[in-house]
């Protein structure tokens, strides 16, 4: 990378953080759309989860298109056009996607609404592929996870506000009558306004003075890099054509499970250390392991929140107009964790840092309560969730901000809490499931940093492959929807438990793989003073 000093370019970092807000704003708002569409289009839970499928499948397709255009341009496309231009183009693509909501809402067309979400996600794919390696490159690589956490803090502020705002824009109030009287046409104005914001943000980035940061050596896309995802995509499309989309999704899930477990076993048995004569990013085992982990991580994050509406309907007798504060609490939990992890970016003294690690999570929790009280009114029933916040604080202190230790602690707690959510009832079960947001919150930057560690000139392509695996957010929620249709919504959350267990195993194995290459992130972070 061009930025070789040990300081962080803070003005550029803060500029990049603005785009993060909308990623989670839209993703969290899907949790409001899913029960609404299920009611108005008379869908099964599996069919309703196609909202997430359309949105997150776009990340996979977007990454494949990224590779295709890089192949055509005979070099990494972001090194050709620059990170900033990649973000601008991505924002404009997302703006175009929101325009489809108007004809889709007018004609009450579920497929057209899904197409609009797909195009929005397509733009997000390019934005994320450009933004995250950009943020890592703005300072020391060993503190890249901290900078991504800072972006994530802004990201999940959007996730906290999104459900409340979108619910207000669609329903206007909280009541059974509001949900019954709402129509599909009510979604068009909020999303057209969102498209206007995308266009304005694109203009802001175009005018901004972001530095030119790229890999020192441009890398061409190899045939194997393009062939493998194309084969995978082609097989899934053929299954969908000859059977159904739902069958293709289940087939994809089964195939990914086989590949993930197979590569874990291969990685454990592999004796060699350093990667020599690498022909592509796929020569690095940490990149492939990172891809599987991103697939599972995004899947578990999305599936907990997106199936929450159905869970609340079955267990609490709430309809789509009454669930926003719980959906907001889930995505706000992501904000609590990421705000906590972002403290190091401001380089406080050790004493002040310890105080902030206790205070900041509760400040974030208070913001969640405030935002939802403005729309939902009484939020006192959310106050006992403070106990889950305390658990996060204790776990964060125990992690000592080491990426692998943090990953292991948080995935273990995520698995434990989802099991409690399945085995109990009432608010204990509900808050245990929602706390999955707390324990997902800091996993993305840890996985992303570990998956791209030591990739050198292949970092951009590694980023593209990891972004491709956001596909998990398209597949795993639909699988949980199928389980919910057959075994019940509460039992279906055992799938989330399995995801956390897989990520725990990933943390153990990727650490061993990196140590064989002479990379020990936990040790390096221990030797870094402050966050800059």
CA–CA separation, 182 vs 204, rounded Å? 35
User: Is 90 exceeded by the pLDDT of residue 493?
Assistant: yes
Mean pLDDT of 430-440: 95
Residue ranges of domains in the chain, CATH in brackets: 10-210+219-270+280-526 (1.20.1250.20)
pLDDT number for residue 522:
64
Give me 258's structure tokens: 């086989």
Q: What is the dihedral of CA 481, 54, 67, 71, to 10 degrees?
A: 140
Select the highest-mean-pLDDT range: 164-178, 231-245, 516-530. Answer: 231-245
Mean pLDDT of 303-322: 86
pLDDT at 155 exceeding the cut of 90: no
Reported as a single tens digit per residue, the pLDDT across 18-51 is: 888 888 888 878 888 888 888 888 888 888 989 9
pTM of the model: 0.83
Specify the long-range contacts of residues 249-258, CB closer than 8 Å, at least 24 apart.
249/53, 249/474, 249/475, 249/478, 249/479, 250/479, 250/482, 252/471, 252/475, 253/475, 253/476, 253/479, 256/292, 256/295, 256/472, 256/475
Task: Please answer whether residues 306 and 327 qualify as being in contact, where contact means their C-beta atoms are separated by less than 8 angstroms.
Answer: no
Task: Quick: pLDDT tens for 97-154.
Answer: 999 999 998 898 999 999 999 999 999 988 888 887 778 777 776 666 667 767 777 7
What is the pLDDT at residue 532? Answer: 26
The number of residues in the chain equals 532
Residue 77: predicted pLDDT: 80
pLDDT at 319: 75
Residue 222's pLDDT is 64
Residue 210: CB partners within 8 Å, gap ≥ 6? 12, 15, 16, 83, 84
pLDDT at 255: 86
Query: How are the residues of the chain apportioned to helix, strand and coil, as percentages rounded to the nearest 5?
Result: 80, 0, 20
Q: Say if CB 221 and CB 461 are below 8 A apart.
A: yes
Q: Say which range, 19-23, 121-125, 156-160, 490-494, has the weakest mean pLDDT.
A: 156-160
Per-residue pLDDT at 490 exceeds 90: yes
With a CB cutoff of 8 Å and minimum separation 6, the contacts of 212 are 2, 82
Would you state the torsion angle of the CA atoms of residues 430, 432, 438, 439, taken in this order, to the nearest 10 degrees?
A: -140
Residue 129 vs residue 87, higher pLDDT? 87
């Amino acid at each position: 990378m061009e930025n070789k000093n040990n300081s962080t370019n803070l003005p550029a970092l803060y500029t990049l953080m603005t785009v993060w807000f909308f990623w989670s704003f839209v993703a969290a708002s899907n949790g409001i759309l899913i029960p609404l569409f299920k009611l108005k289009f008379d869908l099964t839970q599996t069919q309703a989860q196609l909202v997430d499928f359309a949105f997150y499948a776009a990340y996979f397709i977007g990454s494949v298109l990224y590779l295709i255009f890089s192949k055509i341009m005979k070099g990494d496309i972001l090194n050709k056009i620059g990170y900033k231009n990649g973000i601008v183009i991505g924002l404009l693509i997302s703006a175009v996607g929101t325009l489809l909501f108007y004809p889709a809402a007018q004609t009450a067309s579920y497929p057209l609404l899904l197409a609009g979400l797909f195009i929005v996600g397509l733009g997000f794919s390019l934005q994320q592929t450009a933004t995250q390696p950009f943020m890592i490159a703005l300072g020391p690589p060993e503190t890249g996870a901290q900078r991504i956490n800072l972006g994530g803090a802004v990201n999940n502020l959007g996730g906290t506000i999104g459900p409340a705002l979108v619910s207000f824009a669609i329903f206007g109030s909280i009541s059974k009558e509001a949900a019954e009287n709402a129509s599909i046409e009510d979604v068009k104005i909020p999303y057209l306004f969102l498209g206007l914001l995308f266009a304005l943000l694109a203009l802001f980035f175009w005018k901004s003075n972001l530095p030119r940061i790229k890999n020192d050596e441009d890398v061409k896309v190899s045939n194997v890099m393009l062939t493998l995802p194309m084969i995978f995509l082609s097989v899934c499309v053929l299954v969908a054509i000859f059977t159904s989309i739902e069958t293709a999704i289940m087939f994809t899930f089964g195939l990914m499970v086989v590949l993930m477990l197979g590569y874990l076993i291969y990685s454990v048995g592999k004796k060699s250390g350093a990667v020599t004569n690498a022909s592509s990013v796929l020569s690095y085992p940490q990149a492939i392991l990172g891809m599987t982990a991103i697939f599972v991580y995004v899947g578990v994050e999305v599936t907990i929140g997106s199936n929450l509406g159905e869970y609340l309907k079955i267990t609490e007798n709430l309809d789509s107009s009454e669930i926003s504060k719980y959906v907001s609490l889930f995505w706000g939990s992501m904000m609590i964790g990421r705000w906590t992890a972002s403290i190091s970016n401001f380089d406080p003294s050790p004493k002040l840092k310890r105080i902030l690690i206790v205070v900041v999570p509760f400040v974030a929790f208070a913001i969640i309560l405030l935002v939802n009280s403005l729309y939902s009114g009484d939020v006192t029933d959310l106050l006992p969730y403070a106990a889950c916040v305390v658990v996060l604080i204790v776990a964060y202190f125990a992690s000592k901000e080491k990426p692998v230790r943090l990953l292991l602690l948080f995935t273990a707690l995520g698995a434990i809490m989802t099991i409690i959510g399945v085995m109990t009832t009432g608010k204990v079960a509900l808050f245990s499931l929602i706390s999955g947001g707390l324990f997902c919150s800091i996993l993305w930057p840890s996985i992303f940093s570990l998956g791209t560690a030591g990739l050198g000139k292949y970092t951009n392509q590694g980023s593209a492959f990891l972004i491709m695996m956001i596909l998990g957010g398209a597949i795993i929620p639909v699988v949980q929807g199928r389980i919910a249709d057959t075994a019940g919504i509460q039992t279906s959350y055992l799938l989330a438990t399995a995801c956390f267990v897989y990520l725990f195993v990933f943390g153990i194995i990727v650490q061993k793989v990196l140590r064989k290459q002479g990379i020990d992130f936990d040790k390096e972070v221990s030797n870094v003073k402050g966050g800059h």
